[in-house]
Structure formats: structure tokens, C-alpha cells
A and B are shown apart, each in its own frame.
Chain A
Amino acid sequence: MSSPILRLIAQRILLGIVLLLAVSVLIFAGTQILPGDVAQAILGQSATPEALANLREQLGLNDPAWLRYVHWLWGILHGDFGTAQSSGLDIASSIGTRLKNTLFLAACAAIVAVPLAIILGLIAVRYRNGFVDKLISGLALASTSFPEFFIGYVLIFVFAVHWQIFPSISTVDDSTPFLERLQAVVLPATALTLVVLAHMMRMTRAAILNVMQSAYIETAELKGLKAFDIIRKHAFPNAIAPVVNVVMLNLAYLIVGVVVVEVIFVYPGMGQYLVDHVAKRDVPVVQAVGLIFAAVYITLNIVADIGAIVANPRLRHPK
């Protein structure tokens, strides 16, 4: 491997780390300006002033903000996210289970959605501007345009209430066997697939169409290659960079943006965990989850960048 490509990759990773630090400051500052206070939020409307004062003291809410930030960052660098203020549970272990669930659901949705989107994109290009292309685009756009909760409810109504073949409640835990787990996530994964499909499909189609204008595609056509072979061998490899980008963006969405689907299907993932703790002003958890989400987002974007760099022959084979 040559040095410019390594240097570029190193640069990207370094940039990612700096970005992550900046995000950590933002997250910390953001949680400080939320209205209300943690003690009140934990104890709710039925809090007495005595109980409030006791809790505030115990939570160390009387320390200055910068000191709390330094303590927090130091802990995280040692893998210690602290304990949740509201339930007193260790954050790292609670997040562990939930993160695994979220990743499992995201993976299931991605395994279906990504190949499906790309294949549909390829087919759409092959029959561009024809009936098949319009049908694929139309259906994909329609499924994306419906809000997630609507798709979720329709799936529940048809498959859980009417036919009763899949459960509407997707509660899983560590002891759930793999097959049962798979059955539990069928509906939420389907909903997610429908939501992210169109974006990836349209991008694949657009990127390949762009390449199809090039002179070498014309050459390939004149050589008498079949339409699909041209797309597969000549057009697609050159359209990979934008496709990887949009795929990564959607993967990130599948991990950090699925709270609505989680709520509807009662799936114990990260989104619900975050929302619960925002509602209770449980700052350590909100910060930890925020940071993990940021890390996922930044990492996937770095992967997309690196993918684009590696896919670029001019960078791979410098003169």
C-alpha cells in the first residue's frame, strides 16, 4: 500500500476523534440547559421538598459543571459510564444489552434492505424510464413517505391482529433463543426496511445512471455486452462511492433513529432507553447514549469515506 492512501485514512480517523471530543462537549453542555432539574424529574409531581433536597445532595448536583465534565470524560476513557441516577444501575452493562438488541434489529433490517435496495436500483437502471423502473420507484417512494408509526400499525393490524402469525410485541432478552428472536423482529425489521429502502434505491439508481453517460459505457455497448453485464461490470464499480455513502447513512439511521419503531413494537433497544432517561433528566445516561450514538455515526461516516477513497483507483494506484 502506498502512503497517500494511508495518510488520508489516518487523517479521517484523527478527524473523527476530534469530532467525537467536540460532540462530547456539546452533549454535556446541552444536557445542562435542559429545563427542570434531575431530582424533581426523578421524584415527579409527588416530590416533597425534603426528598428533593436529599436527592440533590446525593447526586452531587451542587458541583460546578466543568468539574463534572472532567470527571465524566475521565471515567469514560476508562470504560466507566457511571451509574444511572434514577435506577442506580450500572450504565455500561444496561447499555450493553440494549445496544446488542439495537444492533441485532439494525442488522436484520440491513441484511434485507441493502441488497434489496441495490438490486432494485440495478433493475431500475436496466429498465430505466420504463414501466418497471416507475413501479419500483413509485412503490419505494410511497413506503418511505408513510410515517414509520403508520407502517408499523398497518403491519401489526395485518400480521399480528388479523392473521396472528407474528407477535406485535417484540420483547426479547438475553435468554431468548435465536429463532424466536428472529421471529420477534420480523415486523419491526420489515417496517424499518420499508422506511430506508427508497433512499438507498434511488441513490443507487442515480449514481449508476450518472456513470452510464460515460464514453466507456458506450464502448461496452458497442462491444455487444448484455445490458446487465455492463451495469454490473462497468457501471456499478464506478458508482460505489456514492452508494456506500448513502448505505452508511441509512445504517446509522437504523441504529440511532428507530425510537418510534421500538416504542410501537415494544422492542428493548437504545432509543427507548434514551427517551426514558431524557424524561427523567438522567444526565449520565443521556450523555453516555448520546456519545455512543455520535460514535456510531462518526464511525460509519469514516467507513464511508474510507470506502470511497479505496474505491477510487486514482488514489489506490498513484503515479
Chain B
Amino acid sequence: MSDELDYLSRRVAAGKLSRRDFLGRAAALGVAATVANSLLSKAVRAAGPVKGGTLKAGMVGGASTDSLDPALDASQVPFAFGKCWGETLVELAPGGGVEYLIAEEIGASDDAKTWTMKIRKGVQFHNGKEVTPDDVVATLKRHSDEKSKSGALGVLKGIDTIKADGGNVVVTLKDANADLPYLMADYHLIIQPNGGVDKPDAGIGTGPYKVTVNKPGVKHGGERFANYWQADKYGHADQVEIVVVNDPTARMAALQGGQVNMINRVEPKIVDLVKRLPGVTVRAASGRGFYPFNMFCDTAPFDNNDLRMALKLAMDREEMLHKILRGYGSVGNDMPVNKAYPLFSEDIEQRKFDPEKAAAAYKKSGHSGSILLRTSDVAFPGAVDAAQLYQQSCAKAGIKIEIKREPGDGYWTEVWNKQPFSLSYWGGRPTQDQMYSTAYISTADWNDTRFKRPDFDKMVLAARGELDEAKRKKIYRDMGEMMRDEGGLIVPFFNQFVDATGKGVEGWVDNPAQELGNGHALIQCWLQA
């Protein structure tokens, strides 16, 4: 790249040249606008964050029923607001692995059963108190209590004892688990003074912003916490605000009209239009979420692996990805994990649409008559269309699919995990172990494919206790192949998180864990004048 461009981009970052002028000069130098733009944002990032201003997000996923109690967080708005006012022990880093927050380091015993977490000193709560190991112990105890309503209860089930030991917190597990640090990144586990036992919804944490406005379903706001411990990294804007805008068109209009600086969930069908808007940047990040077609492996006719294979081969994944997600995703391979997971083997063969093989497998299965597939708008955006596309690709293999469109009301109670063949979604988990243990071991409550194989369960346990990464990766590879060839799920695609930012928003970092850069966009981004 020419020195002149470099110089110019630095001038823009320093505020001495307007963006428009820069792009004009770049064009004169024969540089494409996209290249010039990316050069510019690199320079802006290098110049460092700008402090000040109010950063506003317009988000879907908030309701007047939301609470500030992090144990009850279940949707995007409380999740993202939680990242503003609170912090967990560790956080999922954008490139995989963990970022240490309240825990300074985490170490395991050789059997991966005893974990010692060193608690960072000098981290302050908004009420002025310093975080102590006792606060951490109380928080973990509150969420892992059997009577707890916490969304993290399932994740913490394997914990045996939690104790403070000097400046450390020591956790012992019932069974070995090499993934414990990842479990501590669960967004419900915000460290609160005395664990939030006295007042779970006080909204007092150690995050970069103090809660100033809390109107569930309407607006949440925070102002910068003066004593935040890593102010150079997070908390650039003076104030942050989340406005709940559940209607997608209204959200887009708010971004265009400049009333908010960023929005979540841009609908795939309008992304191409949004891209053309001046000042709007689409932020698409691949993630771990996927949209499966679930078959019950223990219920006729799906208890026949030939039929399951026929149904898998009859899925035209490329077409699905193109038509349902407009390309904002990646094709699935009939297993619940993808390359966004640590220790994933990318060399597992990709399953392709093959009507002839599907027809042969279908014939071998001996099944006749139509197969009932249940779907609903709430399963995922475009789920009804996806079912219809699938019906057509199955027809090419001579398999007859009958679609039943179920009401969205009660879909998660009456259809998902109750009916033998239905559409659903999974948000993904930080590690392969968590994903498999949540839904694919015999004893899982949410085994929504009724995949009950003692040999598979053993592999999950073996991988979980294995601290040698190469060995672990090998086991996960075998598990993935087993899922792919014998499991009960058809995965057409993994989705991307599609967000958008308005004029002057810099410092954005994609994160495969969740949308809006794992909820960090508000604390991580800044406003460039």
C-alpha cells in the first residue's frame, strides 16, 4: 500500500482530514473504496479509542418481564446489559480461549477435578466494596443451589464443593472436567456483592457502567463507573443506553435516523439492502448457533439408521444456506459443532446433497408413506420456508414429507423435544463438551434427538477428563463422525450473527460466542467524530 495512503489514513484518525476527502483521494490514487475503508478503520483503531459521548443500541429481545437478576437472564437485552454493569470470572475471547476478568488465573489439579481460581485484587463493585473470594463463592453457590432458578444451574451441576482459600476460590468437581474455565464464562454468573443473595436484582457489579436507568422492556442505561479496573480496555463512551426495539423495521429506521448507533439481528432478507445505506456497516460474525431438523432415534420410523441417513442425504444444504440465510452462515455437517469451537477437526468429510444415494438408503430402510415434519415460525426465522424447501429436495429422492405448521404459542412445550421430527434452534455452547453434554448424552434433559448411546456417553466423559489436547481432539473427531453418521440431527446450516452499526462506531470486534461481539459492543466500541 502506498505511503501516501498510510499518511492520509493517519490524518483522518487524528481528525485532520474528513473521511469523505480521504475516500476521494484514495479513489484518485486508484484504490477501491472497500480497500480504502478497511485501511481507514485500521488506522482509526491504531489511533486508539476516543472517550466520551453516549453509545446507544437498539435491540430486539427485551420485554417488560425482564429483571436485573442475572440468574433469570434469558434474552438478548438483559444479556447485553449484564455485560455493561457486571463481569464474570472469565469471558470468552473472540479468537477462542478465555479472557481473564475477575479471576486472574485458573489452574487445575492433574485429575482435572480440583480447580483453583486466583481472584484479582483491587476490583471494585459499584458500591465501593472490593471483590473478595467470599463474594465469588456466594455467587457460585447462589447459582448452583438446587432450588435456584438460575439459567446456569445445569452448567454448574457437576460442582461438588466451593470454598474460599486465602485469595483463591477452590472448586472441586464430582467428575473430571477440563472445560471448567469455559463454564465460568456463562453470562448468568455475574459476580455480585455477597453473591446477590440479599438483593439479586440490585444491578451492582464490577462492570464499566453503573446502572442508571432500568425500565424493563423499554430502556436500560448506564454511566461510566469511575473506578473501573481496566478503563483503557472497556467503557469508552460516557454513557451507554439500550433501547428495546422489537420490530425489525423500526430498528433499522432508528439506526438510519441516527437515534441509535448499533442494532442487533438484521434480518437476512434485508441485509443486501442495508449494506448499500450510507454510514451503515453490517457486522456479520459466524457463530456456534445452528438450526437443526431433529429426529428421535428411538421412535419409529426414525429408529432406523438407513431412514435417518436417507433424510440426511436428501438435505440440500447449499440451497438452504443461500435461500433461507442469504448466505449469512455456513453449511452444517449433521453434527452440533463447527469450526467456531476449540478442538474441532476440520477434515471431517462434508456431507453433500445426493438424491440418488438418498433414494437407495430410503429403499433399504423399507419405509413407505409420508413422513410428518413439524415446523413453526418460532423455531427460527424462515423455519416454515426451510421445511418447504426440504420437502422439495426430499421429493427429488422419492421421499414424501408432510409438513405440519404448528402454532408458535407453546411450540417449545408441546412440539420441540416432544414430537419425533421437528425444527428447532440451538444457540451453541462455548465448548464441544458443553454442547454434547447438554443435548446428546443419554441422561440429558434436552436430548432432543433421543440419541442414547452408552458408547457415546463414555467418549464424552473420556474427553471431558482429558487434559492432553491432542488426545482430546481425536476423541471429539470420533464423536463428530458418530453424530454425523448415526445421530438424529440434520444440520442444514450454522447461522451468523448479523448486526449493524451506524456512522462513527469504531472498535468493533466479532465474537463467535454471541451477537453484538458477545454483548461487548457497547463497552468496547467508541464514537469517532
Q: Which residues of A contact B (CB under 8 A)?
A: 34-37, 40-46, 48-51, 54-55, 84, 86-89, 94, 98, 153, 156-157, 160-161, 164, 167-169, 171, 173, 263-266, 268, 272-273, 276-277, 279-280, 282
Q: What residue in chain A is nearest B241 (Cβ atoms)?
A: A171
B146 engages A87 (CB within 8 Å): no
In the complex, whether B246 has a CB less than 8 A from a CB of chain A is: yes
Q: What residue in chain A is nearest B201 (Cβ atoms)?
A: A88
**A280 with B63, Cβ < 8 A, contacts A37-B413, A265-B250, A266-B244 known:** yes
For this complex, 29 residue pairs linking A to B, each with C-beta atoms less than 8 Å apart, are: A43-B149, A43-B151, A44-B412, A45-B416, A46-B74, A48-B154, A48-B445, A50-B146, A50-B153, A51-B151, A51-B153, A84-B65, A87-B66, A87-B67, A88-B201, A164-B258, A167-B257, A167-B259, A168-B250, A168-B253, A169-B245, A169-B250, A169-B260, A171-B219, A263-B246, A266-B243, A268-B64, A272-B64, A276-B63
State the Cβ distance, B197 to closest chain A Cβ, in Å: 15
Q: What residue in chain B is nearest A49 (Cβ atoms)?
A: B445
A87 engages B259 (CB within 8 Å): no
Q: What residue in chain A is nearest B151 (Cβ atoms)?
A: A46
Tell me which residues across on chain A come within 8 A of B247, comparing CB atoms: 263-264, 266
In the complex, whether B147 has a CB less than 8 A from a CB of chain A is: yes
Given A43-B151, A86-B65, A168-B250; 20 other pairs, CB 8 A cutoff: A35-B409, A35-B414, A41-B413, A42-B65, A46-B74, A46-B151, A48-B445, A49-B445, A50-B153, A153-B253, A160-B257, A168-B253, A168-B257, A169-B259, A173-B213, A263-B250, A266-B245, A273-B64, A276-B64, A277-B65
Tell me which residues across on chain A come within 8 A of B249, comparing CB atoms: 153, 156, 264
Interface string of B204-245 (1 = CB under 8 A from A): 000000000101111100000000000000000000000111
The main secondary structure of chain B at its interface with chain A is: loop
Could you tell me the distance between the alpha carbons of A299 and B256 in the complex, rounded to whole angstroms?
42
Q: Pick the contact of B243: A41, A98, A169 (CB < 8 A).
A: A169
B257 engages A54 (CB within 8 Å): no
Tell me which residues across on chain A come within 8 A of B253, comparing CB atoms: 153, 156-157, 160-161, 168
Tell me which residues across on chain B come within 8 A of A168, comparing CB atoms: 250, 253-254, 257, 259
State the Cβ distance, A134 to closest chain B Cβ, in Å: 34
A273 engages B413 (CB within 8 Å): no
Q: What residue in chain B is nearest A46 (Cβ atoms)?
A: B151
Q: What residue in chain B is nearest A273 (Cβ atoms)?
A: B64
In the complex, whether B58 has a CB less than 8 A from a CB of chain A is: yes
A54 engages B64 (CB within 8 Å): no
A173 engages B219 (CB within 8 Å): yes
Tell me which residues across on chain B come within 8 A of A55, comparing CB atoms: 149
Tell me which residues across on chain A come within 8 A of B147, comparing CB atoms: 54
**A51 with B256, Cβ < 8 A, contacts A37-B413, A264-B250 known:** no
State the Cβ distance, A50 to closest chain B Cβ, in Å: 6
The main secondary structure of chain A at its interface with chain B is: helix
Q: What residue in chain B is nearest A166 (Cβ atoms)?
A: B257
**A51 with B148, Cβ < 8 A, contacts A43-B74, A266-B245, A268-B215 known:** yes
Q: What residue in chain B is nearest A51 (Cβ atoms)?
A: B149
State the Cβ distance, A228 to closest chain B Cβ, in Å: 43
Tell me which residues across on chain B come within 8 A of A265, comparing CB atoms: 250
Q: What residue in chain A is nearest B245 (Cβ atoms)?
A: A266
Q: Pick the contact of A279: B63, B216, B258, B259 (CB < 8 A).
A: B63
Tell me which residues across on chain B come within 8 A of A164, comparing CB atoms: 257-258
Q: Which 9 A-B pairs have the closest CB atoms?
A: A86-B65, A35-B410, A276-B63, A36-B410, A268-B218, A36-B413, A168-B253, A276-B64, A160-B257
Could you tell me the distance between the alpha carbons of A35 and B376 in the complex, rounded to whole angstroms?
16
Tell me which residues across on chain B come within 8 A of A36, comparing CB atoms: 409-410, 412-414
Could you tell me the distance between the alpha carbons of A273 and B218 in the complex, rounded to whole angstroms?
10
In the complex, whether B150 has a CB less than 8 A from a CB of chain A is: yes
Interface residues on B, range: 35 or more
A44 engages B250 (CB within 8 Å): no
A40 engages B413 (CB within 8 Å): yes
A169 engages B254 (CB within 8 Å): yes
State the Cβ distance, B59 to closest chain A Cβ, in Å: 11
State the Cβ distance, B408 to closest chain A Cβ, in Å: 9
Interface string of B135-166 (1 = CB under 8 A from A): 00000000000111111011000000000000
Could you tell me the distance between the alpha carbons of A144 and B290 in the complex, rounded to whole angstroms?
42
State the Cβ distance, B62 to closest chain A Cβ, in Å: 9
Tell me which residues across on chain B come within 8 A of A41, comparing CB atoms: 413
Q: What residue in chain B is nearest A274 (Cβ atoms)?
A: B64
Tell me which residues across on chain B come within 8 A of A44, comparing CB atoms: 74-75, 412
Q: Pick the contact of B65: A50, A87, A161, A264 (CB < 8 A).
A: A87
Tell me which residues across on chain A come within 8 A of B146, comparing CB atoms: 50
Interface centre among B246, B257, B410, B412 (most CB of A within 10 A): B257
Q: Pick the contact of A272: B58, B217, B409 (CB < 8 A).
A: B217
Tell me which residues across on chain B come within 8 A of A37, comparing CB atoms: 413
Q: What residue in chain B is nearest A55 (Cβ atoms)?
A: B149
Q: What residue in chain B is nearest A98 (Cβ atoms)?
A: B64
State the Cβ distance, B274 to closest chain A Cβ, in Å: 13
A51 engages B150 (CB within 8 Å): yes
Q: What residue in chain A is nearest B219 (Cβ atoms)?
A: A171
Could you tell me the distance between the alpha carbons of A46 and B434 in the complex, rounded to whole angstroms?
14
Q: What residue in chain B is nearest A280 (Cβ atoms)?
A: B65
Could you tell me the distance between the alpha carbons of A72 and B523 in the complex, rounded to whole angstroms?
44
A171 engages B256 (CB within 8 Å): no
State the Cβ distance, B150 to closest chain A Cβ, in Å: 7
Could you tell me the distance between the alpha carbons of A98 and B416 in the complex, rounded to whole angstroms?
35
Tell me which residues across on chain A come within 8 A of B150, comparing CB atoms: 51
Could you tell me the distance between the alpha carbons of A60 and B455 in the complex, rounded to whole angstroms?
42
